[in-house]
Structure 1
Amino acid sequence: MRLFEYRRDNALYKNKSTKAAYQLWILRLLERACSSWRPDVVLVIKGGPITPNFIRRVKARANTLFVNFFPDNPLWMIPFGCIEAYDVFFTKERYAMRSLQQVGLGNLHYLPMYCVPAQHHPVVLSPEETRRFSTPLSFVGSRYDYRERFVRELADAPLRLWGAGWGRTPDPVVRGLVAGGPVFGHDKLCVYSGSTISLNHHHPMNDIVGVNTRTFELAASGACQVVDAKDELSPLFKPGDELLVYRDLGELRRLLDHFLARPEEARAIGENARRRAVAEHTLSHRVDEMLA
């Protein structure tokens, strides 16, 4: 197996003025790599730069199978023609899968997201990390208008926020909850391990009935998460035993009141989630499911 990394920590990819040129350059490099390596399978994780023409050119020169494991809602986050170009397209969204199958696409398959235990695991915080990251209730994720409205409803809770955009909110109440900007790697694990409860609020457009990646990351990190209900959630984790599920703000507040006052119960739920995630929901498990 060979890896071709194209976007992680890459300023050219993340800069709107240079992204298109960078993607074109990346496609050329990847096409050369495919010509040299002649892979049997190209597994793409999301794959924004990958175009249908690129796939056709590579397949014309080699009998290569193109597979996409898409982490977002494909009805919203990828052009339709790109979906159809793949031999196999895995999605966490059964709603999207059914919608695309209804217009004739036959390459869609359901596959939930995953954790990577080497990257997602509990950590022991140092005194300085405890000062920076420990909190009864945390949320890690970017600010959107709907999320800010959600957070405002919880302003009386002991909540701290990490993520892009929160520091720019004009609302002084929400701004007072901001603990920092985006966190990655060990710092993110410190937030998860330093929280009694971790909020997991799905994106209303990106996660229709499917479960986001954060669910699996929090679980593998041993965090007790409280998450909004999704159709695909209960087959993956047991509500009440491996995570806490709410359907409205009233239920969310009741869960927070109960478990913030009982941190030992919250820790037990987080540990149950960690065991389930490591036993059933790693990237290795998903690759095995792809090959089955």
Structure 2
Amino acid sequence: MSKKKILITFVDSFSIVDHLKKEFTELSIDVDVYITNNSGHWLHRYFFKRINKLAKAFGLLPTHIDLFWWCPFSFEKFRDREFALRIEKFKPDLIFCIHGQQFGETILNVTKITKIGWYVEPNPDYNELIRHARLFDLYLSYDSRSVELLNGLNIRSEYQSHVASPSDFYVIPGSTKEIDVLLYGAWSPWREAVLFAAYQATKNIALYGNGWFKNCTIFSKKDLLSIHRGKEIIGSDLNQVINKSHIVLNAQRLKKSTTGLDTRAFDVLASGALLLTDAPTDLFRHFRDKEDLLVYEDSEELPKLIKYILEGGVEIDKIRRTGREKVLQGLTYRDLCQKISQKFLTD
């Protein structure tokens, strides 16, 4: 009996793709991956892109317009054509599109192959979401508000949270807690407010992320330099620094823009760390405050709360343990891939 095949698409080579490929492969499913941002023709990379950038810099072209949209070698048209060729060559039994930036509308509209979409980022444009969700046999979203909207329009949709990879995020025995508070993620106004509040409780902070020096309005450059340790941290390095931290502080990038819970919560808890996080609505589908993690509502409460935690006022070990167990009992990439396989890739 021949193996089932799945084609996974995403905008870039992020770890989410590697985790899915690994777990589907272990289920004896053939996997092909199409990374859309790597699919541009050389004409686009070396000529069209530069001309577009210059035209926009001089105000001659709106930021959302491609001057060469009509050309078969434009980014959009070439990418869609490559997607169609990949489908024709690989002949998958299932197409799994992880959505942030949508693409391939024409191909997805005509193919008879079963298609699943999975939205994993905040979506400010619900009209666009609705249009693309209609292309799929099933549209998954990490945001329950989107699911309710789509189902109300008779578009088949289900809630699917982010999940964790326990082979990448795990407890490292004997790790010394050298850092009081860790926050990782790109700058946003809400994250800066949260981090500055934490800074009032302790100066022993590790910050990783892009855009902080360019955009900060509250921190002085001197103070920011004292805590910023790098623009990016991923993989085993991230797991190590999580294990070295008393508290991992999480703040959704766009406050209250989504009911969905970002991937950090699942990764941090899988690492056996104490997560202190704001609380989008969907957090409570999976976790309980003061049992699996700790929740804050406003940045103003953080200085007192962080001091209380660091002074031993919270049963940290118990919360860490139950939070990790909660993730390992159904919130992993293996669980997700098994669910998809059983529903769509079994005879």
Shorter-chain TM-score tier = 0.7 to 0.9
1:235–1:254 CA distance, 2 compared to 1 (3 A): farther
TM-score (norm: length of structure 1): 0.82
Pick one of 243, 247, 256 that aligns with 2:293.
243
Equivalence for 2:117: 68
Query: Given that residues 117 and 278 in structure 1 are in contact (C-alpha distance below 8 angstroms), is that contact kept between their aligned partners in structure 2?
Result: yes
Unaligned runs of 5+ in 1: none
Mapping for residues 44-83 of structure 1, pairs under 5 Å = 44-46=97-99, 48=101, 50-57=103-110, 59=111, 63-76=112-125, 79-80=128-129, 81-83=131-133
1:199-252: CA deviation from partner (whole Å, max 9, x where unpaired): 011133575222111111111111110011222222312221211111223443
| 1:114 shift after superposition | 0.6
Give the Cα–Cα distance (whole angstroms) in 2 for the partners of residues 3 and 192 of structure 1: 33
Equivalence for 1:164: 210
| 1:180 shift after superposition | 1.7
Please tell me the residue identity of whatever aligns with 2:137. D
Larger radius of gyration: 2
Please tell me the residue identity of whatever aligns with 2:165. V
Give the Cα–Cα distance (whole angstroms) in 2 for the partners of residues 77 and 214 of structure 1: 24
TM-score (norm: length of structure 2): 0.70
Give the Cα–Cα distance (whole angstroms) in 2 for the partners of residues 193 and 105 of structure 1: 45
Query: Given that residues 8 and 97 in structure 2 are in contact (C-alpha distance below 8 angstroms), is that contact kept between their aligned partners in structure 1?
Result: no
Give the Cα–Cα distance (whole angstroms) in 2 for the partners of residues 206 and 37 of structure 1: 41
Alignment of 1:280 onto 2:330: yes
1:248-267: CA deviation from partner (whole Å, max 9, x where unpaired): 23443343122212299324
1:150–1:143 CA distance, 2 compared to 1 (3 A): same
Query: Given that residues 160 and 178 in structure 1 are in contact (C-alpha distance below 8 angstroms), is that contact kept between their aligned partners in structure 2?
Result: yes
Pick one of 91, 96, 104 that aligns with 1:43.
96
1:50–1:266 CA distance, 2 compared to 1 (3 A): same
What's the secondary structure of 2:315's corresponding residue? helix
Query: Given that residues 91 and 97 in structure 1 are in contact (C-alpha distance below 8 angstroms), is that contact kept between their aligned partners in structure 2?
Result: yes
Give the Cα–Cα distance (whole angstroms) in 1 for the partners of residues 316 and 124 of structure 2: 36
Give the Cα–Cα distance (whole angstroms) in 1 for the partners of residues 318 and 77 of structure 2: 48
Equivalence for 1:142: 186
Equivalence for 1:227: 277
Equivalence for 2:13: 8
1:284–1:176 CA distance, 2 compared to 1 (3 A): same
Equivalence for 1:211: 261
1:251–1:146 CA distance, 2 compared to 1 (3 A): closer
Equivalent residue pairs, number:
282
Work out the percentage of aligned pairs sharing the same amino acid. Answer: 18
Unaligned runs of 5+ in 2: 15-34, 53-65, 67-73
Equivalence for 2:28: none
1:65–1:75 CA distance, 2 compared to 1 (3 A): farther
Equivalence for 1:154: 198
| 1:79 shift after superposition | 2.8
Q: CA-atom RMSD, angstroms?
A: 3.3
Give the Cα–Cα distance (whole angstroms) in 1 for the partners of residues 255 and 299 of structure 2: 19
Give the Cα–Cα distance (whole angstroms) in 1 for the partners of residues 236 and 285 of structure 2: 29
